Amino acid sequence: MASKRPVGTITRGTTNPNRLRRVDRWLAGPQARRLRRHRHTPVVVDLGYGASPVTAVELHDRLRRVRPDVHVVGIEIDPARVAAARDLERPGLSFRRGGFEVPLDGQQRPVVVRAFNVLRQYDEAEVPAAWAQVQERLSDDGLLVDGTCDELGRRSTWVAVDRTGPRSLTLSWRLRGLTAPSEIAERLPKALIHRNVEGERVHGYLAALDRAWSYAAHHGSFGARQRFLATAAALREEGWPLLDGPSRWRLGELTIAWDAVAPGDDRAQPGGQATSVPEGQRA
């Protein structure tokens, strides 16, 4: 790709070791097939890794257990951050300057672009254009993972976006000490964080989570995990389109089809027509 001015703005860049372990676990779990089925070396991008390259190093460590030849590229718009990361380069891990244009060598197209705590610092109106630019760079079966988490990675959320549009929303909690699932609302991705209001689908989903969590209180005597499993099972029984099952729920993780939480003015979003939420699922 020809050298161009990076697309985007420099973000605060704060990060911590192990902060992105939840999304990495998802990439190395349910999404591992995207890496395994590639005939050639799969390329994964850590877009906007921040002031420290630690999350890119951790991503490489975790994904090479799934695909030993994976190549992780850390991309940052700040040249000083790229220069500081260069000492950590090794086979399968490199760093370069860039932004949402995702500059890679030759005709390379990434299997995964992980952009965490990046768009959170942008305006909501800027999200569709940023998604679209990254989507153009993805491989045919590639995925953009746009997410947000707290400083220690105990609460994490992300939207999975393929070349056709957003496909799912994943919420992941540290179950110990969880009071109400809706506490994660403050960490929703930028596309949804301002939509947690009456009448929006994501608000209805979080309200349903809280109700199910409350009704499952009696399972708490067996631990928070059992209570969460009962919560997720109740949501599925109500008709919420959860895309995962108990093996992920046990980790404090829920993935739901995007149509069930998409913003009210997002019905025509590429990637499928939004389905209406049944009456019994509304807040």
Q: Which DSSP string do the residues of 57-90 spell out, in sequence order?
A: HHHHHHHTTT-TT-EEEEEES-HHHHHHHGGG-B
Tokens 């460590």: give the residue.
61
Instruction: Please tell me the predicted confidence (pLDDT) of residue 281.
Output: 32
User: Tokens standing for 84?
Assistant: 């500081």
- Dist. CA 261–CA 274, nearest whole Å: 9
- pLDDT of residue 17 exceeding 80, the answer is yes
Q: pLDDT averaged over the chain?
A: 91
Instruction: Please tell me the predicted confidence (pLDDT) of residue 276.
Output: 33
pLDDT tier for residue 266 given thresholds of 50, 70 and 90: low
- pLDDT of residue 173 exceeding 60, the answer is yes
Pairing relation of β-strands 165-173 and 253-257? Answer: antiparallel
pLDDT tier for residue 282 given thresholds of 50, 70 and 90: very low
What's the average model confidence in pLDDT over 193-221? 97
- 277/153: higher pLDDT: 153
* Contact in structure between 158 and 167 (CB atoms under 8 Å): no
pLDDT tier for residue 11 given thresholds of 50, 70 and 90: confident
CA angle 231/233/235 to nearest 5° reads: 70
pLDDT tier for residue 278 given thresholds of 50, 70 and 90: very low
Q: Which amino acid is at 147?
A: G
Q: Is the pTM of this model over 0.85?
A: yes
- pLDDT of residue 221 exceeding 50, the answer is yes
What's the average model confidence in pLDDT over 116-120? 93
What's the average model confidence in pLDDT over 117-145? 95
- Dist. CA 214–CA 218, nearest whole Å: 9
- pLDDT of residue 24 exceeding 90, the answer is yes
- Dist. CA 217–CA 234, nearest whole Å: 12
- Dist. CA 232–CA 11, nearest whole Å: 35
User: Tokens standing for 14?
Assistant: 């704060």
Q: Which of 7, 46, 19, 11 is nearest to 190 (CA)?
A: 11
- 242/267: higher pLDDT: 242
Pairing relation of β-strands 71-76 and 43-47? Answer: parallel
- 11/103: higher pLDDT: 103
What's the average model confidence in pLDDT over 8-34? 90
- pLDDT of residue 215 exceeding 60, the answer is yes
What's the average model confidence in pLDDT over 170-198? 97
| Helix 201-215 vs helix 224-238: crossing angle, to nearest 10 | 130
Scored b (16 or more CB within 10 A) or e, 110-143 reads bbbbbbbbbbbeeeeeebeebbebbbebbbeebb
pLDDT tier for residue 244 given thresholds of 50, 70 and 90: very high
Instruction: Please tell me the predicted confidence (pLDDT) of residue 77.
Output: 94
- pLDDT of residue 25 exceeding 80, the answer is yes
